[in-house]
Amino acid sequence: MATWDVRVVAGPDQDDALIAEIYAIKQATMSESPEPMDLLPLTQERAMRHIQDDQFRWLSILVRDNAGTLAGVADCSLLTGAHQLQCALRVLPPYRRRGVGRCLVSEAARIARAEGRPWLQGTTADHFGPATAFCEGLGAKAGLTIRNSRLDLHAVDAGTLHRWVDAAQQPSCSLVWLDNQTPDQWLPEVARVMRVMNTAPTGDLESTEVPWTEALVKSSEDYLAQVGLERWACYIRDNHTGHLVGVHDVLLWSRASFAVQNTAVAPSHRGRGLGKWLKAAMILRVRQERPQARWMFTLNAHANAGMLAINDQLGFAPVPPGMVAWQVRVERLRAYP
């Protein structure tokens, strides 16, 4: 029976050599997907792994063989105020079905118990049978299926975009752009509207709410700035109350692509075309200011029929792989492996 060396290293303690090892595993495992999204450059990966503050911590569980070769890694994120430990496991093909994954999960469960987090959550690609079998073997349950979609920005009908903007505009609402880091005077409203994201369908997943506060908004935006990712954000403001009631933001992922982060409209303001206004305004801006960009990517729960309907009308098309979100109670893993 193989023996493995298991270590836990916090993000700020990861040196360049270790980050390069982890990055190589990410490259190898992502290449197994039919149409993998581009990884961030290694320089940005290094910056990302060194960031940690009062709102967000993360660490990596490392499993090495007797020769010191890194066989698998689990990146675990710990968000302040959340009840789950998010865990992303990656095991190199030659080491699968040899207990590496079990070592990673066992250590993740230990960390979750120490942190007082009752749930372990993660995602798998829907096409990858071994990952599905592994999750089922843990006793984990598939809680949500997620569609991965891609939009050809050059193919979107400009007439449709302008009609959506014109149809939704009304004296009671206005569009507000707050790119990158939110000015302090807007932080309370941005935190309020970000909490609308917690109304999105979550299937059978437990404890998925993100505890959006002003501090978390600022922390997340500082995080993106330190990684070197530019963020564009547009909001719908209710001019009668002054509250923000809609949000849509994207990351400039590469020269050729944008990645959607969040899209939400407050329940009290749905059915008025505001979601279409946000999406159309963003695409029109992208086409004007970044004409070289070709693709926009987004992930949506299959249960989120309203958002998928808007995306389908724009021309977003499913691309493999889709994702499955899994969850398991940490207590269930007490005797594991």
Gap between the Cα atoms of 182 and 190, Å rounded: 8
Closest of 32, 28, 103 to residue 63, by C-alpha:
103
What is the 8-class DSSP label of residue 306? H
Q: What is the pTM of this model?
A: 0.92
Residues 212 and 132 in one domain: no
Q: pLDDT per residue over 210-246, tens digit each?
A: 999 999 999 999 999 999 999 999 999 999 999 999 9
Write out the residue range of the structural domain in which residue 107 sits: 5-147+324-333
- The whole-number pLDDT of residue 34 equals 73
Q: Which residue has the higher pLDDT, 131 or 34?
A: 131
pLDDT digits (tens, 9 = 90+) for 124-152: 998 888 899 999 999 999 999 999 999 99
CA dist., res. 94 & res. 147, Å (int) = 29
Q: Where are the beta strands (DSSP E) in 20-94?
A: 56-64, 70-79, 84-91
Q: Is the pLDDT of residue 207 over 80?
A: no
> What's the CA gap between 119 and 141, in Å, rounded?
11
Looking at residue 311, what is its pLDDT? 97
Which CATH number fits the domain that encloses residue 57? 3.40.630.30
Q: Is residue 31 part of a domain?
A: yes
Task: Retrieve residue 300's tokens.
Answer: 């949506």
- pLDDT over 70 percentage in the chain: 98
Query: H-helix or E-strand containing 114?
Result: helix 100-115
Q: State the pLDDT at residue 35.
A: 72
Judgement on whether residues 138 and 166 belong to the same structural domain of the protein: no
Residues 70 and 195 in one domain: no
* pLDDT tens-digit series, residues 235-279: 999 999 999 999 999 999 988 999 999 999 999 999 999 999 999
Counting the structural domains of the chain, the total is 2
Q: Using one digit for the tens of pLDDT, what is the confidence trace for 91-113?
A: 999 999 999 999 999 999 999 99
Q: What is the mean pLDDT of residues 287-312?
A: 95
Q: At 80, list the tokens.
A: 């302040």
Is the alpha carbon torsion for 148, 153, 159, 165 positive or negative? positive
User: Do residues 135 and 163 share a domain?
Assistant: no
Give the span between the Cα atoms of 121 and 329, in whole angstroms: 9
Give a yes or no: residue 319 inside a domain. no
One domain for residues 165 and 34: no
